[in-house]
Every structure is written in structure tokens, then in C-alpha cells.
Amino acid sequence: MKLNEKIRTYLDDVPESVKEELSRAWGERKRETYSAAEKHGIKIEEGDSFNRVVTFELEPGFYHIKSDIVSVRDISPEYSDIGILCEGVISRMVTTEKEKGCNPLFASNVCDWDSRYAKKVGANVRLRDSIIKSCIKNDIVLIGGETANLGDQVREKGMSWMFTLLSEYTNSLTNPTRQLDSEMDLALQSTFDHIADSKNYEIVYEKGMPLLHVKKKAKLLMTADGTGSKSKVCEKVNKRTDINDTLAMCCDDATREGGFPIIGSIGTHAENSRGKNQITSNMIETGKNNSIPLIGCAYHVSADVDTYIMNGVVLSEVREGTAHIGKKIEIGLPVVLLYEEQRSNGITMQRRILSETFGEEWYEVKSSEALKFLNKELQGKYSDLKLHDEERSLGELVAQPSTPYFRVDSMMPQHLLDKVKFRINVSSGGLIGKTRRLLEPVGLGANYHDVFGAPGLILLLQMSSRLEGTRGVVTDKVAYYTWGCGNGAAIGTEEPESIVDYYNSKGIRAKIGGVVIAQPEINITSKCLDSTLKSKPHIINHKYREKPLG
């Protein structure tokens, strides 16, 4: 049969360039809210990293975190006024907090929509203006935040929006019994005692609220992220384990900035309540396993959403000497890789490739059956290819939860932290894109000479992309610019053997897999599909002068 020859990239499936454009505009406008920190007598600092993370100092006291969610079917001005909608949410939350004796201080938000459509109808400007205006009016500092392209899950033209508010309880504790008003707080209260640093933090209770007792002055940050369209697949296979992904996405970046995750607040926006019990049960298990209380969470049901969406905001303490940002990186620095079967980035592209190949119910197809079909269609070209765990379905492979590295990271002994010069969390942009983002500004590159082998899912996706009728071929280079392909994090360190031993002792596979180089490029000795047909090592080369592929 005739095989496809066109190259397919992540940008063919998701308007990521538009999202980046809108995100930069958000970053500029959020600064307009920073003056509120001075009114509250709170010191804030904006970092120099790509994400411009804002840190703030809190005095000892009691603090409340709370999330809420709203949605709309169409964000065009003819259908709805999303500005008034979001202003109403903020106003209602502020009023409730003040009635309970809390003074709102900081907020973060997550917006899920189709960025291209949002820009077309001007929703990005209307939403941004309204949120900034409302935060200024209520003396709230808006920090962090995330925008995700989830057009499939908001019925193409809609929006799901989560707002998380951090307030200080300004009165004295009068009734510290475990009495809770919120349905989600009641459901998740068993996570409240599982706090990683009980010496400096604890959960107490007042007026039906769980409050974070900050026992000493602390420098903190808030990070926001979500699972993306992996949730859609979790629903299909009835394994709603994506709380692992939400926490991994929120917390792994925080630890890179020196953050020690303390508490989290999760928002779930669902088409119905069918999976609520399973989601809640997995939230309890994951919160306990990772020593992170889940507080002020929201579960909202709306027909505006297809299946469900999960996002989160995490509050972390920034500890001196633990941040990897800004450290000097030198040529020859070894790089340790951490194994990861499946993160939560690039899922839309995965879903579409598999749907094009195996039909609307692709998620039910066994991986062994998929391999047999693809080998037949590709005339036995990859007949020597073997998969592990062949009886898992394609849906189960895609829905495989991320490994949250953050608690192991945050517990790393100081003498090892001192030897870590950088950390790359492989998410959107893949191994190539994330490495380039870190090393290009300092004029350095990387040679990954021993990466982890590509998981079976990646190989099946690449095989599927080579069939006639698909939207293009996913080459090894594109794969490494889209996914981790078995690699979830890259750590530059002066003591690679000790770092490898530390992670392996904690149950996370690690090995020395690369080195920093002087050339402005990234080289990977591939272990994806194209490499299986080569008699010699298949080395991928990406020079910084090339246009990004994702």
C-alpha cells in the first residue's frame, strides 16, 4: 500500500502558538494586580525563569484556600458575557470569605477553551480585562495560572474556568472542632492529616472551614495546571486516576523553583456525576500517598463539558538552597534521566491518531491486536517489534497516570540538592522542546546518548501515523519534540551516580543519559520507531536555528 510521507507535528492538532501568544499577554496584565500586595503589607517577587513565577511571604497565621468553577457553552459575545460571569464568581467568593472572617490575598486561575476560537471572537481580551478589573477592585494579587487548549472537552466553542482564592483568617479561633460545611471538604478530610511538614504546618478548623496553620514566616508560591484531554480517555476506560497527572503537573514545576508542596485545591468540571465517587476515592489515595492535603476542592456538573476536566492549584513553600533556577550550567555537566511511561501532554494528538486508525472506539482495542493490524498494513516492516504488557488496551495506555516526582524531589537531602544545577520536567514540547527552552538562553546544548526506551504506545502511534490517509508521519524527531518517549525529567548534576541511586532507592527508575555540550543544538540517540530499522545508532539532531516542532 502507499504510505504517508507528510510530516505531522503537535501544532497540526493543537493551536499552541496562539495559546503562547495569549499567555504572554496574561503575564503582562497580571502585574497590574501586584500593588495589592503592598496594601496587605506582603512582600512579593517575580522570578527570572520562563514562567515568571511570583513568590510571596506570609506571616504566621491561619489561611483558607478555596476553588470554584463555571462554564459556558459558547464564549462569543452574541451568546454570553464571560466577563460578567467570571466577575460574578470572584465577587461571590470574596463576599463568602469576608463573611467568614477571611481577607482575600492571592488568586490563581485555569482557563480551558480553544485558544484559536477565543482569539477569533475576542473572548481572550474580555475575560482577561474582567478578571484583572475584579482582582484590582478586591485587592487580590493574581499569580500563576494556566490556559489549556481543550476544545474537544468544552464542545469546541465553550469554556471551563477555575478560580482559586487564598485568604487570611483574621479572627481568633473560637471553635476548632472538625466541622466542615463543604461537601468536597467532608469527602476529602482524610487527606488533611497527611501533611509533609507537620512541624511548620497543620490543618485546623473554624466556622466550617479547614484552615492552613502557618507556624512560621514562610516564602510561598502558587502553581496551577491540569490533566488536559487525558481525562477524556480516563472516562472512556473507567479509570479516573488523573489526579496523579494534575498533581504532577502542578507540583513538579514548583519543586524546580525550590517549592516544597504543602496543600492543593482541585477543581473537577464534569458532564455528570457518574464518575464522582471514583474521582474522589483516587483523590484521597493520591493525597495521602503524596502527603498533600486536598482542601477547598470543587466538583461542578454542567452539560457545557464533554466527559470531564480536572485542574489544580498547589501552594508550596520556597525553601532556601533548593531552587534549581539560575544556577551556573557548564559544558560537560552530566544529565540524569527519570523514567516515565506516559505524561499528560500531547494527548489530543495521540487520541486523534488512534481514532483515525482504529475508529471511534479505539480505546477498546488491545495493544497486541493493534500491533498485529499495523504490521499487516505496513507489510511486516516492523515485524520484529515486541511490546510489553500487550493485553492492555490502547485507552489504558493513553490513560496511564503520570508519576508524581515532586515528593521525592522535595525530600532530597541538601547535600544532593547542592549538586543539582538544573531540572527539566518533560511536558509540552517534549524532551527536545523543554531542553531547548532551558539551555538555549545560556548558549548551550545537550547530547542525550542513552535515553530510556520508547513505551509501546509511542511506537504504536508512530506506526499508525505511517498509514495512508492519516494527517502525516510522526518521525522520531517529532516524537521527541512532542512527548518524553519514556523520559519524564532530565536533571543536570555534578554527582550523577548519587542522584541515580537516590531516585532508584525511592522506586523511580533513573540513569545517566546525557551531557551538556557547547554546541547550540540537541542530539538524541533515538529509541523510537525509526531507530528499530537502523543497523547503527539513529542520532536525531535539532539545531536552535530550526523552527520548533511543537
Q: Are residues 447 and 383 in the same domain?
A: yes
Residue with cell string 533556577: 325
Structural domain harbouring 157: 17-318
Q: Cell triple for residue 238?
A: 473507567
Distances (CA, A) of 506 to 109, 232, 284, 338, 502: 33, 31, 21, 12, 7
Q: Are residues 84 and 204 in the same domain?
A: yes
Q: Are residues 286 and 356 in the same domain?
A: no
pLDDT reported for residue 1: 41
- Collect all residues with Cβ–Cβ distance below 8 Å to 169 and sequence separation of at least 6: 61, 62, 63, 64, 100, 101, 102, 206, 209, 211
pLDDT reported for residue 2: 45
Q: Are residues 126 and 243 in the same domain?
A: yes
Q: Is residue 11 part of a domain?
A: no
Q: Is residue 4 part of a domain?
A: no
d(Cα 347, Cα 245) in Å, to the nearest integer? 12
Angle at 57 between CA 52 and CA 62, to 5 degrees: 125
User: What average pLDDT values come out for the chain (550 residues) when binned by 10 residues?
Assistant: 61 59 74 96 82 89 97 94 95 97 97 91 92 97 88 94 97 84 96 96 95 97 94 96 95 87 97 96 97 97 95 94 80 98 92 95 96 94 86 96 93 94 91 94 97 97 91 93 96 97 98 98 97 92 83
Q: Are residues 290 and 337 in the same domain?
A: no
Q: Are 510 and 420 a contacting pair, CB within 8 Å?
A: no
Helix (H, G, I), strand (E, B) or coil at 534: coil
Domain end among 297, 318, 339: 318
pLDDT reported for residue 21: 65
Q: Are 130 and 72 a contacting pair, CB within 8 Å?
A: no
Q: Is residue 10 part of a domain?
A: no
Q: Are residues 155 and 283 in the same domain?
A: yes
Q: Is residue 530 part of a domain?
A: yes
Helix (H, G, I), strand (E, B) or coil at 473: strand
| DSSP codes joined into one string, 140-168 | -EE---EEEE-GGGGTTT-EEEEEEEEEE
Q: Are residues 313 and 333 in the same domain?
A: no
Q: Is residue 3 part of a domain?
A: no
Q: Are residues 100 and 158 in the same domain?
A: yes
Query: How many domains does the chain fold into?
Result: 2
Domain end among 301, 318, 335: 318
Q: Nearest CA to 362 among 390, 395, 396, 401?
A: 395
d(Cα 353, Cα 355) in Å, to the nearest integer? 5
Q: Is residue 267 part of a domain?
A: yes
Q: Are residues 522 and 430 in the same domain?
A: yes
* CATH for 331: 3.90.650.10
Q: Nearest CA to 259 among 49, 499, 11, 513?
A: 49
pLDDT reported for residue 15: 56
Residue with cell string 544532593: 416
Q: Are residues 280 and 193 in the same domain?
A: yes
Q: Are residues 333 and 253 in the same domain?
A: no
d(Cα 432, Cα 437) in Å, to the nearest integer? 9
Domain end among 292, 318, 344: 318
* CATH for 57: 3.30.1330.10
d(Cα 75, Cα 83) in Å, to the nearest integer? 10
Backbone angles phi, psi at 58, to 5 degrees: -115, 140
d(Cα 20, Cα 37) in Å, to the nearest integer? 27
Q: Is residue 1 part of a domain?
A: no
d(Cα 387, Cα 375) in Å, to the nearest integer? 13
d(Cα 123, Cα 132) in Å, to the nearest integer? 14
Angle at 439 between CA 434 and CA 445, to 5 degrees: 100
Q: Is residue 417 part of a domain?
A: yes
d(Cα 495, Cα 335) in Å, to the nearest integer? 10
User: b/e map of 70-101 (b: 16 or more CB within 10 Å)?
Assistant: bbbbbbeeeebebbebbbebbeebbeebeebb
Q: Are residues 447 and 302 in the same domain?
A: no
